[in-house]
């Protein structure tokens, strides 16, 4: 796929406009009031986003013009559905939409289709491999991965072979202002369906607003499953203090997310 070509779908990619955050906010106010010219300008100002996403599919045999057009459809869908009250960057919302649109296109147009269950097994294996590597400071064996996710090693090998080009979960898909969106941010499992990713982003943003102690308590309680007594012993305060700080933090989170 010739991603180094300057003109894609009649668009000179070397001269794509770049909008400031202030311009984006101003344009979105106009878009919400039905201004079609503002929407057109906003689309053109975000075509670099589409271009950066389709580079993720550089190993695909698909025509770059086709992928760019499909990516633009995802961009337009993102613009139509973006909620400014979510307190997330537009790019953070749009990238998964664009990727999803391209993936659906590739899936529907692939003559050799890989089942969803095979893809899920392969990506869970990759995710588990990364986690075990960080935890044990060495690369796990297939048997260790199989035991961790409860799948036979034969099924893991078959699933990994079925996806053509496995990548690291920490490969950046898009970067803006020093903040990167990684492949692992797009992996879906039973606890992280595509339709709930925005809520997860909002929750993460709310957690960042807590002070260090409150953040630590909620992380230990609800992400690591510790009891209040265990948390109290871990951080060296009383169980009553843990309870009070937890209630205060949850009250703030509820207010922030409502």
Compare 62 and 97 and report the one with higher pLDDT. 97
pLDDT higher than 70, residue 91:
yes
Is residue 138 a contact partner of residue 130, using CB atoms and an 8 Å limit? no
Averaged pLDDT, 221-229: 82
Contact 76, 43 (CB under 8 A): yes
Q: What is the pTM of this model?
A: 0.43
- Rounded to whole angstroms, how far apart are CA atoms 163 and 106? 13
Contact assessment for residue 54 and residue 64, using Cβ atoms and an 8 Å cutoff: yes
- List, for residues 173-213, the tens digit of each pLDDT value: 555 555 555 555 555 454 444 445 555 666 777 788 888 89
Which tens digit of pLDDT belongs to each residue from 20-53? 888 888 888 898 888 889 899 998 888 888 888 8
């Amino acid at each position: 796929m010739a991603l180094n070509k300057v003109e894609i779908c009649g668009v000179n990619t070397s001269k794509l406009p770049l909008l400031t955050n202030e311009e984006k906010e101003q344009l979105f106010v106009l878009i919400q009031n039905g201004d079609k010219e503002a929407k057109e300008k906003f689309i053109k100002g975000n075509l670099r986003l589409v271009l950066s996403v389709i580079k993720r599919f550089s190993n695909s045999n698909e025509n770059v013009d086709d992928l760019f057009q499909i990516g633009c459809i995802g961009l337009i869908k993102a613009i139509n559905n973006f909620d400014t009250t979510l307190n997330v960057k537009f790019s953070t919302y749009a990238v998964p939409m664009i990727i999803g649109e391209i993936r659906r296109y590739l899936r529907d147009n692939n003559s050799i289709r890989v089942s969803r269950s095979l893809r899920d097994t392969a990506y869970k294996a990759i995710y588990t491999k990364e986690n075990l590597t960080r935890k044990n400071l060495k690369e796990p064996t297939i048997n260790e991965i199989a035991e961790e996710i409860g799948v036979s090693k034969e099924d893991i090998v078959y699933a990994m072979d079925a996806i053509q080009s496995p990548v690291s979960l920490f490969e950046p898909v898009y970067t803006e202002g020093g903040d990167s969106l990684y492949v692992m941010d797009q992996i879906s499992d039973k606890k992280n369906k595509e339709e709930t990713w925005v809520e997860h982003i909002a929750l993460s943003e709310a957690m960042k607003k807590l002070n260090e102690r409150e953040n630590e308590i909620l992380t230990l309680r609800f992400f690591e499953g510790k009891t209040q007594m265990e948390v109290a012993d871990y951080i060296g305060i009383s169980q009553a203090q843990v309870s009070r700080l937890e209630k205060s933090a949850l009250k703030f989170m509820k207010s922030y997310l409502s």
